[in-house]
C-alpha cells in the first residue's frame, strides 16, 4: 500500500482549495450547479468536478465562472488565477510522471499528494511503510507482488520508492508518524538478513526529529485498526483538509469527506495511545532485530 490497486482518484490539495472557493462564490451568487453550468456553457457535472478539485481549471473557464458569479474584485481574481496555474503545474510536472504507465493512477495520485503533504500518520499491519523501507526490502516486496515482471521494471519501482523517501530529508522535511503492528517486525520479507538490516534502519531513522515510530504489541489484543492499514495525509495550505488512503478487501480507497477523515484520525489516535512509547518501541525493534539471525 499504495500500489497498483483500483481506486477513485483523489483531488489535489490546491485543486480542492480552488474548488472550495469557487463553490463559495457560486453559493454567494445564489446559483445552483445547473444554473452555473448554463451561465458558463458547460455541463453540471463539470461544475461539480471543478468544485471537488477533480479536474484542472483552464483559465478561460475560471474567467467565465468568476464573471457568472459576479466576482469583480481584482485581487480575488488574480489570486484564484494564480492558484489555478499552480494547481495545474503541480499535476503536470511531478517527477513521478517520467515513469509513465509503469505506475498505476492510484499510486501516481498518492505520490503527488505525498509531495504536497507536510505530515503523514499511518498504521501498518504487515509491512514497513514505504517511506522507511530499505532497497532490499522494497525489492522483495515488489517481486512478491507479481505486478512487475522484468528486472528493469522492478528496479524502476525501487527507484520510485527511494525517491519518495527524499521528502524525509529535504529542506522542509515531511513529518512521519508510523504505528506498526508487532507483526511488521516478524514478517520475513526478503529473509533474515534483509529483515535484520531493515529493523536496524528503523532504529536509525527513528532518531530523526521528524520521524516517530511506535510498535503496537500483540499483547494489546484486539484494536480498531487491526482490520487494515491506512495513511492520513495532512497539508500546510490554509484550510486544506486531510486525505485518507485506506485498504479494503477490493483494493485501496480515497476518503476525503470530513466525517470519514475524522474517523481515521480517531483510529490513529487510539492506535498510537495503545502502542508502546517511541523509546519502548526502539527497544522492541532492537530485540526483534537480534532474533533475525543470518
Q: Is the pLDDT of residue 22 over 90?
A: yes
Q: What is the pLDDT of residue 199?
A: 97
Region 58-62 average pLDDT: 89
Region 24-30 average pLDDT: 94
Question: Higher confidence at residue 236 or residue 191?
Answer: 191
Residue 140 preceded by cis peptide, ω within 30:
no
pLDDT band, very low/low/confident/very high, at 23 (cuts 50, 70, 90): very high
pLDDT tens readout for residues 136-178:
999 999 998 877 778 888 899 999 999 999 999 988 899 999 9
Q: What is the pLDDT of residue 108?
A: 80
pLDDT tens readout for residues 175-186:
999 999 999 999
Please check whether residue 264 is in contact with residue 147, taking contact to mean a CB–CB distance below 8 angstroms: no
- Alpha helix (H) ranges present in 117-257? 135-145, 151-164, 182-186, 192-205
What pTM was estimated for this model as a whole? 0.79
Q: What is the pLDDT of residue 95?
A: 81
Average pLDDT, the chain: 87
Lowest mean pLDDT among 21-25, 140-144, 164-168, 239-243: 239-243
Residue with cell 505506475: 103
Please check whether residue 20 is in contact with residue 239, taking contact to mean a CB–CB distance below 8 angstroms: yes
pLDDT tens readout for residues 221-236:
888 888 889 999 998 7
Region 22-31 average pLDDT: 94
Question: Higher confidence at residue 7 or residue 102?
Answer: 102
Q: Is the pLDDT of residue 2 over 80?
A: no
Please check whether residue 10 is in contact with residue 109, taking contact to mean a CB–CB distance below 8 angstroms: yes
Q: Is the pLDDT of residue 257 over 90?
A: no
Lowest mean pLDDT among 9-23, 204-218, 261-275: 9-23
Please check whether residue 212 is in contact with residue 176, taking contact to mean a CB–CB distance below 8 angstroms: yes
Region 254-282 average pLDDT: 93
Identify each DSSP E strand in the chain by its residue range: 119-124, 175-181, 211-216, 230-234, 243-248, 251-255
Please check whether residue 12 is in contact with residue 254, taking contact to mean a CB–CB distance below 8 angstroms: no
Task: Specify the DSSP class assigned to residue 11.
Answer: P
Distance CA 47, CA 37 (A): 6
Region 60-89 average pLDDT: 90
Lowest mean pLDDT among 43-52, 155-164, 276-285: 43-52
The burial class, CB within 10 Å (0-12 / 13-18 / 19+), for 243 is buried
Q: What is the pLDDT of residue 90?
A: 67
Please check whether residue 104 is in contact with residue 2, taking contact to mean a CB–CB distance below 8 angstroms: no
Amino acid at each position: 500500500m499504495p500500489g497498483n490497486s483500483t481506486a477513485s482518484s483523489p483531488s489535489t490539495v490546491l485543486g480542492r482549495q480552488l474548488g472550495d472557493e469557487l463553490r463559495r462564490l457560486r453559493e454567494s451568487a445564489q446559483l445552483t450547479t445547473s444554473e452555473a453550468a448554463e451561465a458558463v456553457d458547460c455541463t453540471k457535472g463539470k461544475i461539480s468536478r471543478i468544485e471537488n478539485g477533480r479536474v484542472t481549471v483552464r483559465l478561460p473557464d475560471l474567467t467565465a465562472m468568476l464573471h457568472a458569479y459576479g466576482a469583480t474584485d481584482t485581487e480575488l481574481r488574480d489570486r484564484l488565477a494564480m492558484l489555478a496555474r499552480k494547481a495545474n503545474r503541480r499535476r503536470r510536472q511531478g517527477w513521478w510522471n517520467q515513469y509513465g504507465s509503469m505506475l498505476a493512477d492510484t499510486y501516481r495520485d498518492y505520490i503527488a499528494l505525498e509531495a504536497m503533504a507536510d505530515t503523514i500518520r499511518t498504521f501498518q499491519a504487515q509491512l514497513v511503510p514505504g517511506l522507511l523501507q530499505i532497497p532490499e526490502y522494497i525489492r522483495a516486496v515488489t517481486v512478491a507482488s507479481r505486478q512487475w515482471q522484468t528486472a528493469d521494471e522492478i528496479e524502476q519501482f525501487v527507484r520510485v520508492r527511494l525517491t519518495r523517501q527524499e521528502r524525509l530529508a529535504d529542506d522542509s522535511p515531511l513529518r512521519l508518524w508510523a504505528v506498526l503492528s508487532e507483526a511488521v517486525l516478524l514478517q520475513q520479507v526478503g529473509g533474515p538478513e534483509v529483515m535484520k538490516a531493515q529493523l536496524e534502519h528503523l532504529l536509525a531513522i527513528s532518531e530523526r526529529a521528524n520521524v516517530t515510530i511506535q510498535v503496537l504489541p500483540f499483547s494489546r489484543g484486539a484494536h480498531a485498526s487491526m482490520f487494515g492499514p491506512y495513511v492520513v495525509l495532512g497539508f500546510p495550505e490554509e484550510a486544506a483538509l486531510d486525505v485518507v488512503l485506506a485498504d479494503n478487501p477490493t483494493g485501496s480507497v480515497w476518503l476525503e469527506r470530513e466525517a470519514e477523515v475524522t474517523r481515521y484520525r480517531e483510529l490513529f489516535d487510539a492506535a498510537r495511545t495503545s502502542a508502546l512509547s517511541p523509546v519502548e518501541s526502539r527497544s522492541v525493534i532492537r530485540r526483534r532485530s537480534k532474533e533475525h539471525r543470518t
